[in-house]
Structure 1
Amino acid sequence: MDRRTMLRATVAGAGAVALPFTAWSAAYGAPAQNAPGPYGPLLAADANGIQLPAGFSSSVVARSRQVVPGTSYTWHDAPDGGAVFANGTGWVYVSNSEVTSAAGGGASRIMFSASGAVIGASRILGGTNVNCAGGKTPWNTWLSCEEVPRGSVFETYPLGGAAVQRPAMGKFKHEAAAADPVRQVIYLTEDESDGRFYRFVPTTWGDLSAGRLEVLKAGTATSGAFTWARVPDPDGFPLATRRQVSGSKVFNGGEGCYYADDTVWFTTKGDNRVWQVNLTAGTYELAYDDDLVSPGAAPLSGVDNITGTTAGDLYIAEDGDTMDICMITPDDKISTFLRVTGQSRSELTGPAFTPAGDRLYFSSQRGTTGQSSGGITYCVTGPFRR
């Protein structure tokens, strides 16, 4: 059985235990190298300024400070991390707003029919600061993370319900979260130049009100074995959480985080790396390093949000650089899937697939203006590998 067949067989047998899109084989051998993309070369930019392979098309879903078409809701500034939730008849796309509470920080949702038409939009979180990335839980909540010193995680309810702060998950400069239903933990990244990689172990799975915060301990190399150690004071004051455990491993600017089939991937923007942690073997290694790519120049820089598909492909968005979303395939090849032109003062955020895997949502945080008020949220449709 080849790797892709194995991945699909894993998906078929995964049932409802795993998150959508997370039934993978942890078969990546790192780090990824340059290769032509599976969809072919990028074509000329379309009417939205996006270069895509043949067979794919883009549309604008929402713009910051403008009413979402088909609704009465004004879309938030600086759209960032996002996720898609099935709601029985269609789906909901959730997006964070990376601005202060005074400027309207928090998170919003757009609701879609089964055909992909917008049928509603509203706010699901307000009064919070610089909500950057986050993560989806198996019980269909969105963990919205504050990227500020001693920031908090807020559990929001895209399908209905009031948001709740989750202080037991630690107070630090949160970035992204990823749920592991097998080990019943939530992985967390920290956006500091000397940040750490954490996991939260709830006392009761599905209830994030209580539990213990742990940090990854390992050597200084880019691969090896690791262990977990409890963080004594998750509140992070007076001593920051990242400085409480001797031997905890430093990661330079933690960003996106994604779990699938006994592996968690996360990105670090300070050194343009994608890390992979084999949770069964208890080892970590590099899935991508822009200093180790050949032949030619590294296609991915400014690594940021990350997601994946049932076909086993990772999609990583760029913060700046050439404004790409790049792919890493299960055979360890990296290529550019799309490029947004004319928006050099922005960053790409919030990539997330629909349950069927045929639509990819993402945002350009500052759009063509380079300002938080210029954000644009897009949808790309086409023959994605599934």
Structure 2
Amino acid sequence: MNIFEHQRRRLLKYSLISGLGIFFSGHWSSVPGQAATLIRAAKNGLQPPDSNGVRLPKGFNSRIVVRSGQTLFGYNWHAAPDGGATFAVKEDGGWIYVSNSELENQAGGVGALRFNQKGDVIDAYAILKNTNRNCAGGHTPWQTWLSCEEVDKGQVWECDPFGKLAPRLRPALGTFSHEAVAVDFQKKQLYLTEDKPDGCLYRYTANLFDTIGNPNLDSGILEVAEVIDGHIGKVRWHALPDPQATDTPARYQIPQRTSFDGGEGIWYHNGIIYFSTKGDNRIWAYDTRIRQLSIVYNAALFINPVLTGVDNITANAAGELLVAEDQGNMQIVVVNRDTVLPLLQVINQNRSEITGPAFSPDGSRLYFSSQRGISGKPEDGITFEITGPF
């Protein structure tokens, strides 16, 4: 037995005995123990499916907010709902949930649902139209939604969730098969994933800032990551010579770049950028303070992994990650420093995927979609709301 195989078997042994503590050293160290409630809620297992086909921990409830094709307030809710986020409406205490449409041939875009303070839907409208395979994206601290096109010549569109400003194309964020974006709230840098088997991790740093310190998304440097010692360790960043990929795809412009197998969801929390890769079922953590990359979840180290098909990522205030499954067991899974447990499961929708998980601004409700519903067709998407002791 070689040293690598010995280490792998040892990791298997300890991961099965003690959960994920071996992987998470340091990443959750600042999380108050009393705030980490979702793992505790999930520890007693999921109840039988409710009338909406959702299995939840005791004390939680689901409702179907809208179905693809349903008309609300004059807006025909889009097919293939994907990445999503919420935004607070300060005027009345309500909020907005935005959702991408991953339709091809310029049929994609972004829809929005407006909720009042009680959680009733009081409006629905489009904030982006006629784009291509809008997969995931990311929210910004300045209250906009960055919608990503998952095609070879994909772009990022900055959208106004309130529907007052026209969407703006942001070519400085690069031309490639965009998946998702996360903003480092402290350093005001953007991190972007690429959904290709040999995709890369990118970082955007603005050259200019507005009067309140928000980065200009039209003038900056787009870089690609190189992990110096393979796939774990210190990261070096290289500026792309041609972010618009006029002649050479972005991921091939820098020979020293590190490839990641199918970049998916990405999330910023407390100085760490977390992102998932579907090709190898891993969750990564990049510490922006020390420029160090590590793996915090690897399905290959488990005989019967709870989490597979890793996709969209969000987090609660405690820093627990909620990871949506693309197929897998059609679950949203909670990952913290000790444990990986399913928070919910949608049944009888095995040809679909879970998309767009996002908490309401006060953290009391969780939204997500089953992208293709029971039939497995994009026009049969379902968008849910979960309430309970979050």
TM-score, normalisation: structure 1: 0.88
| Residue among 294, 301, 305 paired with 1:285 | 294
Work out whether 1:299 is the aligned partner of 2:306.
yes
Q: 1:202 touches 1:210 (CA, 8 Å); kept in 2? A: yes
Work out whether 1:168 is the aligned partner of 2:169.
no
- Residue 72 of structure 1, CA deviation: 2.6
Instruction: Map Cα deviations across residues 57-105 of structure 1 (whole Å, 9 max, x no partner).
Output: 000011111113xx23210010000000001120000000000244x31
Q: Map 1:266-281 onto structure 2 (within 5 A).
A: 266-281=275-290
Instruction: Map Cα deviations across residues 193-244 of structure 1 (whole Å, 9 max, x no partner).
Output: 0000001112224321111101111146342111111011001121011011
Q: Map 1:80-99 onto structure 2 (within 5 A).
A: 80-88=82-90, 89=92, 90-99=94-103
Q: 1:277 touches 1:284 (CA, 8 Å); kept in 2? A: yes
Q: 2:324 touches 2:332 (CA, 8 Å); kept in 1? A: yes
- Residue 314 of structure 1, CA deviation: 0.5
| Residue among 197, 205, 210 paired with 1:193 | 197
Instruction: Map Cα deviations across residues 31-61 of structure 1 (whole Å, 9 max, x no partner).
Output: xxxxx94212100000000000000000001
Equivalence for 2:115: 112
Instruction: Map Cα deviations across residues 283-305 of structure 1 (whole Å, 9 max, x no partner).
Output: 11111100113xx5101111000
Equivalence for 1:319: 326
Equivalence for 1:328: 335
Q: What 5-or-longer segments of structure 1 have no aligned partner? A: 1-24, 30-35
CA distance in 1: counterparts of 2:102 and 2:334, whole angstroms: 25
**Letter in structure 2 aligned against 1:78:** A
Equivalence for 1:244: 253
More displaced 10-residue stretch of structure 1: 298-307 or 179-188: 179-188
Higher-Rg member (1/2): 2
Q: 1:101 touches 1:126 (CA, 8 Å); kept in 2? A: no
More displaced 10-residue stretch of structure 1: 49-58 or 277-286: 277-286
Size of the alignment, in residue pairs? Answer: 348
- Residue 28 of structure 1, CA deviation: 6.1
Equivalence for 1:56: 60
Equivalence for 2:140: 137
CA distance in 2: counterparts of 1:28 and 1:75, whole angstroms: 41
**Letter in structure 2 aligned against 1:43:** Q
CA distance in 1: counterparts of 2:111 and 2:29, whole angstroms: 34
Q: What 5-or-longer segments of structure 2 have no aligned partner? A: 1-25, 31-37
CA distance in 1: counterparts of 2:309 and 2:99, whole angstroms: 20
Q: 2:98 aligns to what SS in structure 1?
A: strand
Work out whether 1:380 is the aligned partner of 2:386.
yes
When the two chains are superposed, the root-mean-square deviation of aligned CA atoms in Å is 1.5
- Residue 125 of structure 1, CA deviation: 0.1
CA distance in 2: counterparts of 1:67 and 1:282, whole angstroms: 47
What is the percent sequence identity of the aligned residues? 45
Q: 2:223 touches 2:239 (CA, 8 Å); kept in 1? A: yes
**Letter in structure 1 aligned against 2:84:** G
Q: 2:172 aligns to what SS in structure 1?
A: helix
| Residue among 130, 137, 150 paired with 2:153 | 150
Q: 1:220 touches 1:249 (CA, 8 Å); kept in 2? A: no
| Residue among 337, 359, 363 paired with 2:369 | 363
Q: 2:75 aligns to what SS in structure 1?
A: coil
Q: Map 1:6-45 onto structure 2 (within 5 A).
A: 26-27=27-28, 37-39=39-41, 40-45=44-49
Q: 1:43 touches 1:52 (CA, 8 Å); kept in 2? A: yes
**Letter in structure 2 aligned against 1:179:** V
Equivalence for 1:223: 232
CA distance in 2: counterparts of 1:115 and 1:257, whole angstroms: 30
Distance 1:313 1:27, change over 3 A: closer
**Letter in structure 2 aligned against 1:350:** G
